[in-house]
Amino acid sequence: MPHTKLFIPGPIEVSPKTFAAFCKPMIGHRSNDFKKLYAEIHPKLQALFYTQQPVFISTSSAWGVMEGAIRNLVSKKVLNCMCGAFSDKWLDVSRRCGKQAEGLQVEWGQPILPEALDAKLAEGGFDTVTLIHNETSTGVMSPIKELCAVVKKHPDVMLVVDSVSSFSAVPIPMDELGIDVLLTGSQKALALPPGMALFSVSERAFARAATVEGRGYYFDFLEFKKNQAESMTPSTPVISHIYALQSKLEDIECEGIENRYARHAKLNALVADWVARNGLEFFAPEGYRSKSLTCVRNNREIDVPALNSKLKERYHAMIDGGYGKLKGKTFRISNMGDETEKTISELLGWLDDCLK
């Protein structure tokens, strides 16, 4: 059976070059070879995060760090901004960590708006806010700059930003925006296999963590900090992923980060044109649409599973049939990672053919 190319919003297609790096022989994680590897990629990671702070490698998917951020930072109460499947879940996760938590819920398909966040924070009592920049389930990108400015008005409130499906597709200047924890996963725009997360933590967030009980060990930010100072990780890291990341950072350097952002915007616009051309609608309102994926409102009542079957049989490719309660009502097309004008145009042509 030929491989089915993934145009779903993660995991996405991994290039042969990345896989070759992933398959390099093992090294000891306490060896000088490992320290050299981490030390070499670290400044490149800092540049991608737009931060002077240390950048950590977590052997977990993003949820490990999302839960870790709650355990490290919340002593009073966390406000979870909720606008889709992943951001909604963060409230549940906060409560499962035994923390006081409240949601700022908006309808799926809508962004989190600064006015709503401002009003909620004005009620007082919160010491942490969680925000998903790009809600992958709905294709909504919330206005990060404006939301960060709102949180900045509250010096005791920490801001945790999930950039799982926007990192390296659009710029997120962590230090400039005053983000306290910025995290991402490996299987989205970085186009690596799933299983690794990257994150950075502000000085004030380290200071907060030092006062919070029950941080545990595996995701203790202070353990990460201590180890990173020696180019190491607290526990055995996922070395294969780190080789793959090293290779991806080379690719990004070669392409140029601004070119990478421009490529994502261009490919996203190609998909948007296709949506409009086909009499379909967007699930997200204009101005708040993701640049890394498109969540299409299925207003034509297309049989999406049938469409995907044809796509798979004829062209060995697949798109996503909608997440959770949006299954069938929406479908999603990813344009993140290594895609090009040629590959996205090809996909759109295949979709046209399968829709005939």
109 binds ligand PLP (CB under 6 A): no
The residue from 63, 206, 218, 261 that contacts ligand PLP (CB under 6 A) is 63
Rounded to whole angstroms, the Cα distance separating 187 from 165 reads 9
Question: Which residues touch 94 (CB under 8 Å, ≥6 apart)?
Answer: 70, 74, 78, 80, 101, 130
Q: Are residues 245 and 238 in contact, defined by beta-carbon separation less than 8 angstroms? A: no
SS3 for 110-125 is CCCCHHHHHHHHHCCC
Assess 22 for contact with ligand PLP (CB under 6 A).
no
Q: Min. distance of Cβ 197 from ligand PLP in angstroms? A: 7
CB of 195 to ligand PLP, least distance (A): 8
- Our finding on whether 322 is near ligand PLP (CB under 6 A) is no
Closest CA to 103 of 118, 117, 122, 124: 117
Q: Can you tell me the distance from the alpha carbon of 72 to that of 213, in angstroms, rounded to the nearest whole number?
A: 8
Task: Output the smallest distance, CB 162 to ligand PLP, in A.
Answer: 5
Could you give the CA distance from residue 94 to residue 100 in angstroms, rounded to a whole number?
7
Smallest distance, Å, CB 63 to ligand PLP?
4
- Interacting residues of 283 by C-beta distance below 8 A, sequence separation 6+: 109, 138, 139, 140, 295, 296, 297, 326, 330
CB of 194 to ligand PLP, least distance (A): 6
> Is residue 15 a contact point for ligand PLP (CB under 6 A)?
no
Name which of 62 and 238 has its Cβ closer to ligand PLP.
Answer: 62
Contacts of residue 344, defined as CB under 8 A and 6 or more positions apart, other chains included, come to 267, 270, 271, 335
Residue 326: count of CB within 10 angstroms of its CB: 23
Site string for ligand PLP, 68-107 (x = CB under 6 A): ------------------x---------------------
Q: Is 147 or 232 the residue whose CB approaches ligand PLP more closely?
A: 147
Q: Does the protein bind ligand PLP through residue 132 (CB under 6 A)?
A: yes
Other beta carbons within 10 Å of 355? 12
Cβ 213 to ligand PLP shortest distance, Å: 25
Sites for ligand PLP among residues 137-196 (CB under 6 A): 162, 164-165, 185, 194
User: Can residue 320 be called a binding residue for ligand PLP (CB under 6 A)?
Assistant: no
Residues that bind ligand PLP (CB under 6 A): 10, 61-63, 86, 132, 136, 162, 164-165, 185, 194
